[in-house]
Structure 1
Amino acid sequence: MKLRDRTFLLLGASGGIGQALVKPLQAAGARVITASRQPENLSHQSGVATAHLDLAAEDLDQQLIRLSESYPDIDGVIHCAGQNRFAALEDMTVSQIDAQLDVNLRSAMILARHFVPRFRQAGTGALVFIGSTFGSIGFPGYTGYCASKFGVRGFSEALRRELADTPVQVVYVAPRATQTAMNPTEVEELNRALGNKMDAPEQVANHILAAMQKDERRRFLGWPEKAFVVINGLFPKIVDKAMLKQLPVIHRFLKGGV
């Protein structure tokens, strides 16, 4: 995928992976437009345009029309925004479930619905979706997040195959645990207790750019996480047993323990 002279709409640039993507994209010669529900809270960066976009809004489709009118040269979208909540299912409110589904999955589908015909008509375009290892492996305490990220993985795969005879590229990148502000203290402590490795946002950003530049259809990050994705798909009982052993520790952190 050619990055130079391309204009990317980057979602989720207020922190974490999205924020770490801005400078590498610019260094590769791309123009960057960041969008947020509160664009005034986005850190000012030279050469980066900011726009308003509420991914959980009912009128997201109408907001996208206005955005495209303001920035008609957008020819790439990187969906890096996400909602995450570590909680038992019965402890989540309906609004917390809705937020994860709306921001993580629904917005990705509406964005693609908006941009695909424009990219097809232009003869070029790229849609990059940032998923998660938890989009392939169900993990206790992340039922809502896993549901949304499983959806993103399935959606991006189906869309890529639907557009296989068009010039529109669809890329899916699945990071493992990443050190971002989205993780509360108990999640950081849980990862340490379970021995889960966490990547810096800059590492993940480099992998995303590499996947884009190499025209990869999908990329899973981390070892042994990549192996567990395969094992979980072929022999889920093995992963069931492994997580059953971890469940007492997970329950302790779900209840606020350290």
Structure 2
Amino acid sequence: MRLHDRVFLLLGGTGGIGKALVDPLVRAGARVIVASRQPDRLGHREGVSAVHLDLAAPDLDQQLERLSDAYPDIDGVIHCAGQNRFAGLGAMAVSELDVQLTVNLRSAMLVARHFAPRFEKGGYGALVFVGSTFGSIGFPGYTAYCASKFGLRGFTEALRRELADTPVQVVYVAPRATATAMNPEQVNELNRALGNTMDAPEAVAAEILKAMENDDRRRFLGWPEKLFVVINGILPRIVDKAMLKQLPVIRRFLNSGVLS
């Protein structure tokens, strides 16, 4: 995938992995349109435009229509916005379940529904989705998040196959644990207690760009996480047993009373 002279709509570009993508995209010669509920947080930057977009809004499809009218030259979308909360299922309000499914999955589907026909008609375009290792491995305390990311992985796989005879590229990248502000300290402590490596957002952003430049259909990040994804798909009982051993540690942080 060529990055130079492209116009990318970046969703989730004011924090974490998305924020770390902005400068590398600009250095690669792309123009970046960062869509956020708080576009003023971005400030003025050369080669970057900030627009308002609420991925959790009921009228997201109409907002996308207006955005396309204002920026008709968009030829790529990078969806790396996300919501999560580390908590037991019974401790989460219905509204918390809804927002994770809405932002992590529904918004990705509506974005693809809006842009894929336009890219196909224009003869060129790319849809890039940032998922998670938890889109392949269910993890205690992240039931809603896993559900949304499993859904995103399945959606992108089906969409890629649906568009296989078109010029539209569909890319799925699944990072492992990443050190972003979305994680509260209890999650950082849990990862340290379990010996889980946490990648810097800049390292993840670099891998996303590699996946795009190499025309990867999907890319899973981190070792041994990539191995666990394969094992979980073939012999899930092995992962069940491994997580059962970890469960006392997970429960200690899960029941700490700190909200993410």
TM-score, normalized by length of structure 1? 0.99
Asked whether 1:176 is paired with 2:176, we answer yes
Gaps of 5+ in 2: none
1:193-230 CA distance string (max 9 Å, x none): 00000000000000000000000000000000000000
Residue 37 of structure 1 deviates from its aligned partner by 1.2
Structure 1 residue 257 displacement after superposition: 7.3
* Corresponding residue SS for 1:23: helix
Displacement of 1:136 in angstroms is 0.1
Deviations 1:139-167 (A, max 9, x none): 00000000000000000000000000000
d(CA) in 2 for partners of 1:42, 1:83: 19
Aligned to 1:24: 24
- Map 1:92-171 → 2, pairs under 5 A: 92-171=92-171
Which residue matches 2:3?
A: 3
Mapped pair 1:198 → 2:198: yes
Taking the aligned partners of 2:130 and 2:21, their CA distance within structure 1 comes to: 12
* Alignment-mate amino acid for residue 226 of structure 1: K
- State the Cα distance separating 1:255 from its structure 2 match: 0.9
Q: Is the partner of 1:186 in helix, strand or coil?
A: helix
Conserved? CA contact 1:14–1:43, under 8 Å: no
Aligned length: 258
Q: Does 162-171 or 38-47 show the bigger shift?
A: 38-47
Counterpart residue identity of residue 135, structure 1: G
For 1:44, the equivalent position in structure 2 comes to: 44
The alignment yields a C-alpha RMSD, in angstroms, of: 1.0
Match of 2:89 in 1: 89
Whether 1:245 and 2:231 are equivalent positions in the alignment is: no
On the 8 A contact 1:137/1:229 being kept in 2, the answer is yes
C-alpha distance in 2 between matches for 1:207 and 1:165: 26
SS in 2 for 1:247: helix
- Which consecutive segments of 4 or more residues in structure 1 shift more than 6 A? none
The aligned counterpart of 1:59 is 59
**3-state SS in 2 of match to 1:173:** strand
CA–CA distance in 2 between the matches of 1:43 and 1:141?
Answer: 35
Q: Distance in 1 between matches of 2:211 and 2:195?
A: 27
Distance 1:116 1:191 in 2: 37
Instruction: Give the whole-Å Cα distance in 2 for the aligned partners of 1:6 and 1:199.
Output: 27
Counterpart Cα distance in 2 of 1:131 and 1:219: 10
Q: Does the Cα contact within 8 Å between 1:171 and 1:217 map onto a contact in 2?
A: yes
Percent identity of equivalent pairs: 77
